[in-house]
Structure 1
């Protein structure tokens, strides 16, 4: 008697994919963990001395995972600063159209500092971001990148100012001159703040306000001694 054929087992279905929201939260957690590990290593042992292998080992992921989120170490070191700059640009775009250019720039940067602490804390501790700022200022290779990025941001901001004023930025030099002056004060502010002992966001905001308050008087009047 021929035995009956064995019953075929249904093919196992693949495990259901996690919901899109859950996937995005997991990606965000992985990116934030890599970013925090990178900044901790950069600020503790030096940017050039830190390898991608050390960063991924600290998070227990592969190099492939790191490069899924960051093109290189440079992109990681400037990631939070990029977020800060974007918030400033958004604040500037939202300023009332009747404000004079320097007033709008001052208000935008101070408004950004009013809320940026919470935004940074969602990614890394504010204190770590501030230490990263000092690292950039003291590392020639990163400072060169910072200058290049500043030029690009200045051009974007100058075009926003020109549009607010109804000017052609390529025909009228005033938007670029105003933004160059503003950016120079901001760079000086960063150096003054970085040389101090208080690395809080509020300290940065106070120093920024004090220096910007001197900008308009410094550009007006007679500079010659009486």
Structure 2
């Protein structure tokens, strides 16, 4: 009985977190992120201000929750790669596999990416999220045998920069361009130094 109730509790928490994220994105699109308040997000998600604070430290964190989820999926995909792969091959394969798994681009995600592009406060928050992922990827690369700490961190940072640049370039390409193709292009260009 306990496992069932724990599972239900976690699903409810996840649903509340997602509702807050979606409310934050919708309000930011409608009013601009600088005009959105935590209270407005909580009201739109039909929860209290206190409940919002149980899930997110700021409105920017709520707005970028989708990024954090995708980054965790990316880290999980890297960890699942065969130990026999070179570090760069594992990073590249994980990114492309995640892109295939996520499938067609969610318009809400594209909207969020465009918001980050236009608003420095969101870009600053995203940098913090990327920094945490860089730490995790550096640890994973070290576990994969990259013994030089600077090389491990440079590899992780270059990989994340290639992904970020690929997403930005993809937004500027004609509709119908596959993100995976643009990521492959950026990762191949960057990987020559890290393969």
Tell me, yes or no, whether TM beats 0.5.
yes
Aligned residues: 191
Deviations 1:55-99 (A, max 9, x none): 233233322232232222122012111110011111111111111
The correspondence of residues 42-191 of structure 1 with structure 2, limited to 5 A, is 42-117=28-103, 126-165=106-145, 167=147, 169=149, 173-191=150-168
Structure with the largest fraction of helix: 2
* Cα shift readout 1:85-129 (whole Å, capped 9, x = no counterpart): 0111111111111111111110011111222359xxxxxx92112
Unaligned segments of structure 2, at least 5 residues: none
1:206 aligned onto 2:181: yes
CA distance in 2, matches of 1:166, 1:191: 29
Residues 196, 166 of structure 1: alpha-carbon distance in 2 compared, 3 angstrom cutoff = closer
Shift of 1:190: 2.0
If you compute each CA radius of gyration, which structure gives the higher value, 1 or 2?
A: 1
Question: Could you tell me whether the CA contact under 8 Å between 2:23 and 2:41 is conserved in 1?
Answer: yes
Does the 8 A contact of 2:38 with 2:59 survive in 1?
A: yes
Which 5+ residue runs of structure 1 have no aligned equivalent?
1-18, 119-124, 221-226
Contact kept, 8 Å, 2:21 with 2:64, in 1: the verdict is no
Aligned residues: CA RMSD: 2.6
1:29 & 1:146 partners in 2: Cα distance? 22
Q: Is the 1:84–1:116 Cα contact (8 Å) retained in structure 2? A: no
Q: What is the TM-score when the length of structure 2 is the normalising length?
A: 0.84
The two structures have a TM-score, normalised by structure 1, of 0.73
The superposition leaves residues 30-70 of structure 1 with CA deviations (integer Å, 9 ceiling, x where unpaired) of 33222211111112321111112222332333222322322
SS state at 1:66 partner? helix
Alignment-derived partner of residue 25 in structure 2: 39
